[in-house]
């Protein structure tokens, strides 16, 4: 198989696609817009899940599972939510097939098996969950209700891209219910912090935390908080969202609780989610023209050992040392693969593990056996050095930490370098076209202006950063007064 990757500079989008396919992360499937996540890709997703799941549990949440199907009558209960997702829903209308009398061997939908009520394949689960919560919540003693589910959802997108936008995708969605508005807002922000912590400290992708404008808000939310990351090509990617849902769903599904002083009150809600889109963010943030670069904390294999030898005896001699190193590293909790396959040569393996993004590679040959050394190569910098076997476990433990830090710092510098303040619409357009990246500019706060800027430049307000610096200025588009800069970018 040709492993030639398209260069980022030649065609970034083609590079991304090539990389996903060639690093064996995912593949297109027989279903339009739906991908097959292959073992190499799924292993990274599993590591993400494992880490996030622990973070959710550490903040008091528990997992549950709700149905894939939502009866249409429930789906439409919260009007804004229903309206927002209506255009991209898959709908089940029948429950049976039959053999087609006109086409032997073919099946047809049995017209007699039409459902009384259509079922919507969930694009998000607020409706079915809030309908369920109604039966679970009676008293303030039942609150807060802190539930997460790992699930698949379907959004019938016009145009799809592996991981970034697929018709079916995997995600987690947290759905919580609270007695007070304040508590729900604290929860919303807490989960945003959890996401930011995960994306920055595990994925090594720096993010801007902020709040969405009304235009960009989740359908059915009072406020949508988000984390926005900048990819290598200067386009923004929404990496996670946390919604304060107010009492919208409580009212739509009539979920009330009795307070201590025996009054009926609607509960306050949040929902929050991250999806397999994070895989896209991970890939686009760190990878290079040689292939994938996986941050050590999420790498299914943190270290690979490649033996270099002549003949069976040679392999046996190298293997003694390699297995010893493997054991020492495993004792430190490091995941190690010793690739002693005789079917591929060392050079082939080097290239292969670079393509697959393994953070650290150790090569051991005769020369090393004589000197008590190994060759150590790091994926992030593509540098190699010869080091003593003595104390290699501690050295690699430190190296993995260094790589993790380096990847984050590198991405952070890039993001800072690609963040520009502008004060005129001319500069705004110029920066978007020539420099790309985040653009901080004054905005008059109206949806109309936001919409016009989007129409003319394809840039959207990614968020109003949290703890945003307040400064007086004038809107770059309308010239009206403004109190702060907001974060614009062209986005995925």
Partner RNA sequence: CGGGGUGUAGCGUAGCCCGGUAUCGCGCCACGUUUGGGACGUGGAGGCCGUCAGUUCGAAUCUGGCCACCCCGACCA
Residues that bind RNA (CB under 7 A): 1-3, 13-14, 17, 28, 32-33, 87-88, 155, 157-162, 164-167, 169, 216, 218, 238, 241, 275-277, 290, 308-311, 342, 345-348, 350-352, 354-355, 361, 363-369, 374-375, 377, 382, 384, 386, 458, 491-492
Write out the H or E segment, with its range, that includes residue 371.
helix 366-371
Give the max Cα distance, the chain: 83
The 303-307 sheet, strands edge to edge: 336-338, 303-307, 360-364, 373-378, 383-388
272 vs 408 by CB, closer to RNA: 272
CA 421 – CA 412 distance, rounded (Å): 17
Q: Which residue has tokens 């653009």?
A: 439
Q: Compute the least distance from the CB of residue 318 to RNA, in Å.
A: 9
249 vs 309 by CB, closer to RNA: 309
Distances (CA, A) of 96 to 105, 268, 399: 16, 40, 58
Residue 34: DSSP 8-state: -
CA 396 – CA 434 distance, rounded (Å): 41
122 vs 442 by CB, closer to RNA: 122
Q: Compute the least distance from the CB of residue 41 to RNA, in Å.
A: 14
Q: Compute the least distance from the CB of residue 369 to RNA, in Å.
A: 7
Q: Compute the least distance from the CB of residue 363 to RNA, in Å.
A: 4
Distances (CA, A) of 373 to 263, 290, 366, 477: 74, 26, 10, 63
Q: Compute the least distance from the CB of residue 184 to RNA, in Å.
A: 20
**Closest C-alpha among 200, 227, 184, 186 to residue 466:** 227
203 vs 363 by CB, closer to RNA: 363
Q: Which residues contact 425 (CB under 8 A, 6 or more apart)?
A: 476, 477
37 vs 179 by CB, closer to RNA: 37
**Closest C-alpha among 227, 205, 204 to residue 274:** 227
137 vs 292 by CB, closer to RNA: 292
27 vs 254 by CB, closer to RNA: 27
Write out the H or E segment, with its range, that includes residue 115.
strand 114-121
CA 438 – CA 449 distance, rounded (Å): 18
Q: Compute the least distance from the CB of residue 472 to RNA, in Å.
A: 31
Q: Compute the least distance from the CB of residue 326 to RNA, in Å.
A: 16
119 vs 362 by CB, closer to RNA: 362
Q: Compute the least distance from the CB of residue 309 to RNA, in Å.
A: 6
Residue 84 burial (CB count, 10 A): 17
Q: Compute the least distance from the CB of residue 273 to RNA, in Å.
A: 7
155 vs 189 by CB, closer to RNA: 155
Q: Which residues contact 189 (CB under 8 A, 6 or more apart)?
A: 225, 242
Residue 226 burial (CB count, 10 A): 24
């Amino acid at each position: 198989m040709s492993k030639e990757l398209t260069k980022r500079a030649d065609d970034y989008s083609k590079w991304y696609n090539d990389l996903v396919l060639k690093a064996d992360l995912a593949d297109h499937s027989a279903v339009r817009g739906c991908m097959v996540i292959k073992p190499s890709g799924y292993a990274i997703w599993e590591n993400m899940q494992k880490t996030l799941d622990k973070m959710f549990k550490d903040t008091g949440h528990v997992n549950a599972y709700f149905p894939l199907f939502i009866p249409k009558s429930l789906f439409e209960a919260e009007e804004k939510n229903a309206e927002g997702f209506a255009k991209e829903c898959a709908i089940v209308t029948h429950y049976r097939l039959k053999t087609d009398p006109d086409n032997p061997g073919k099946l047809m939908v049995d017209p007699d098996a039409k459902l009384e009520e259509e079922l919507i394949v969930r694009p998000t689960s607020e409706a079915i969950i809030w309908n369920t919560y109604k039966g679970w919540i009676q008293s303030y003693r039942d609150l807060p209700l802190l539930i997460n589910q790992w699930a698949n959802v379907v959004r019938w997108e016009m145009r799809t891209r592996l991981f970034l936008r697929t018709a079916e995708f995997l995600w987690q969605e947290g759905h919580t219910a609270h007695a007070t508005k304040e508590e729900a807002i604290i929860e919303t922000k807490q989960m945003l912090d959890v996401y930011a912590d995960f994306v920055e400290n595990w994925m090594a992708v720096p993010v801007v935390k902020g709040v969405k404008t009304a235009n960009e808000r989740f359908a059915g939310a009072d406020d949508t908080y988000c984390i926005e990351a900048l990819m290598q090509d200067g386009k923004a990617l929404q990496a996670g969202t946390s919604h304060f849902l107010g009492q919208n769903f409580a009212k739509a599904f009539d979920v009330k609780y009795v307070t201590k002083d025996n009054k009926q009150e609607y509960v306050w809600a949040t929902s929050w989610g991250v999806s397999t889109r994070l895989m896209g963010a991970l890939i686009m943030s760190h990878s290079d023209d040689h292939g994938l670069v996986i941050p050590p904390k999420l790498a299914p294999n943190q270290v690979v050992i490649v033996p270099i030898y002549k003949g069976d005896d040679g392999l046996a001699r190298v293997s003694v040392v390699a297995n010893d190193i493997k054991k020492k590293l495993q004792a430190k909790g490091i995941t190690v693969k010793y690739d002693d396959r005789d079917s591929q040569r060392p050079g082939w393996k080097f290239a292969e593990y670079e393509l697959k993004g393994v953070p650290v590679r150790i090569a051991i040959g005769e020369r090393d056996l004589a000197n008590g050394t190994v060759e150590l190569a790091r994926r992030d910098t593509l540098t190699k050095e010869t080091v003593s076997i003595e104390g290699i476990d501690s050295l690699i433990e430190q190296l993995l930490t260094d790589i993790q830090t380096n990847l984050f710092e590198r991405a952070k510098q890039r993001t800072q370098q690609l963040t520009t303040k502008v004060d005129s619409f001319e500069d705004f357009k110029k920066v978007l076209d020539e420099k790309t990246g985040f653009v901080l500019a004054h905005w008059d706060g109206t949806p109309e202006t936001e919409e016009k800027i989007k129409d003319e430049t394809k840039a959207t307000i990614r968020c109003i950063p949290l703890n945003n610096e307040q400064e007086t200025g004038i809107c770059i588009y309308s010239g009206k007064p403004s109190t702060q800069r907001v974060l614009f970018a062209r986005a995925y």
